[in-house]
Amino acid sequence: MTDLSSLPLRESLRGQSPYGAPQLDVPYMLNTNENTHPVPPQVAEAITARVATVAGGLNRYPDREFTALRERLAVYLGHGITPDQVWAGNGSNEVLQQILQAFAGPGRTLLSFLPSYSMYPLLAAGTDTAFVDGGRAPDHTLSADHAAEQVRRHRPHVVFLASPNNPTGTALGLETIEAVYAAQARNEAEGGHGAMVVVDEAYAEFALEGTASALTLLPGRERLIVTRTMSKAFALAGARLGYLAADPAVTDALRLVRLPYHLSAITQATAIAALEHVDALLETVEDIKAQRDRIVDTLRRLGLSPSVSDSNFVFFGRLRDAHAVWEALLTRGVLVRDVGIPEHLRVTAGTQDETTAFLDALGEVLREDPAAVVRG
Ligand X SMILES: *Cc1c(COP(=O)(O)O)cnc(C)c1O
**Applying CB under 6 A, does 147 fall inside the site for ligand X?**
no
Measured from the CB of residue 346, what is the shortest distance to ligand X in angstroms? 10
What is the rounded distance in angstroms from the CA atom of residue 349 to the CA atom of residue 11? Answer: 39
**Applying CB under 6 A, does 162 fall inside the site for ligand X?**
yes
**Applying CB under 6 A, does 92 fall inside the site for ligand X?**
yes
- Residue whose CB is less far from ligand X, 227 or 355: 227
**Applying CB under 6 A, does 170 fall inside the site for ligand X?**
no
Round to the nearest angstrom and report the end-to-end CA distance of the chain: 53
Residue type, 213: S
Measured from the CB of residue 160, what is the shortest distance to ligand X in angstroms? 9
Measured from the CB of residue 98, what is the shortest distance to ligand X in angstroms? 12
- Residue whose CB is less far from ligand X, 39 or 328: 39
- Residue whose CB is less far from ligand X, 187 or 348: 348
- Residue whose CB is less far from ligand X, 163 or 187: 163
For residue 105, the SS3 value is coil
Within 8 A by CB and 6+ apart from 312, the residues are: 33, 35, 203, 206, 232, 233, 288, 289, 292, 348, 349
Residue choice 166, 168, 291, 348 for contact with ligand X (CB under 6 A) = 166
Closest residue to ligand X, based on beta-carbon distance: 91
What is the rounded distance in angstroms from the CA atom of residue 344 to the CA atom of residue 208? Answer: 22
**Applying CB under 6 A, does 317 fall inside the site for ligand X?**
no
Residue choice 88, 148, 179, 202 for contact with ligand X (CB under 6 A) = 202
Tally of residues, the chain: 376
**Applying CB under 6 A, does 117 fall inside the site for ligand X?**
yes
Residue choice 28, 35, 88, 91 for contact with ligand X (CB under 6 A) = 91
**Applying CB under 6 A, does 33 fall inside the site for ligand X?**
yes
Print burial letters for 152-190: b (CB count within 10 Å at least 16), e (below 16).
eebbbbbbbbbbbbbbbbbbbbbebbbbbbebbbebeee
What is the rounded distance in angstroms from the CA atom of residue 165 to the CA atom of residue 341? Answer: 15
**Applying CB under 6 A, does 229 fall inside the site for ligand X?**
yes
Measured from the CB of residue 59, what is the shortest distance to ligand X in angstroms? 28
Query: Which region, judged by CB under 6 A, interacts with ligand X, from 215-223, 227-235, 328-336, 361-369?
Result: 227-235
Residue choice 142, 200, 306, 330 for contact with ligand X (CB under 6 A) = 200
Check if the beta carbon of residue 120 is closer than 8 Å to that of residue 131: yes
Measured from the CB of residue 343, what is the shortest distance to ligand X in angstroms? 21
**Applying CB under 6 A, does 93 fall inside the site for ligand X?**
yes
Task: Name the burial class of residue 71, with classes exposed (0-12), middle (13-18) and buried (19+) by CB atoms within 10 angstroms of its CB.
Answer: middle
Size of the site for ligand X (CB under 6 A): 14
- Residue whose CB is less far from ligand X, 93 or 291: 93
Measured from the CB of residue 90, what is the shortest distance to ligand X in angstroms? 8
Measured from the CB of residue 311, what is the shortest distance to ligand X in angstroms? 8
**Applying CB under 6 A, does 213 fall inside the site for ligand X?**
no
Torsion of the alpha carbons at 5, 9, 11 and 15, rounded to the nearest 10: -40
Which spans in the chain are helix H?
Answer: 41-55, 67-77, 92-103, 119-126, 144-154, 174-189, 248-255, 265-275, 278-281, 283-301, 322-331, 352-368
Q: Which of 197, 123, 133, 209 is nearest to 171 (CA)?
A: 209
- For ligand X, the binding residues (CB under 6 A) are 33, 91-93, 117, 162, 166, 200, 202, 229, 231-232, 237, 242
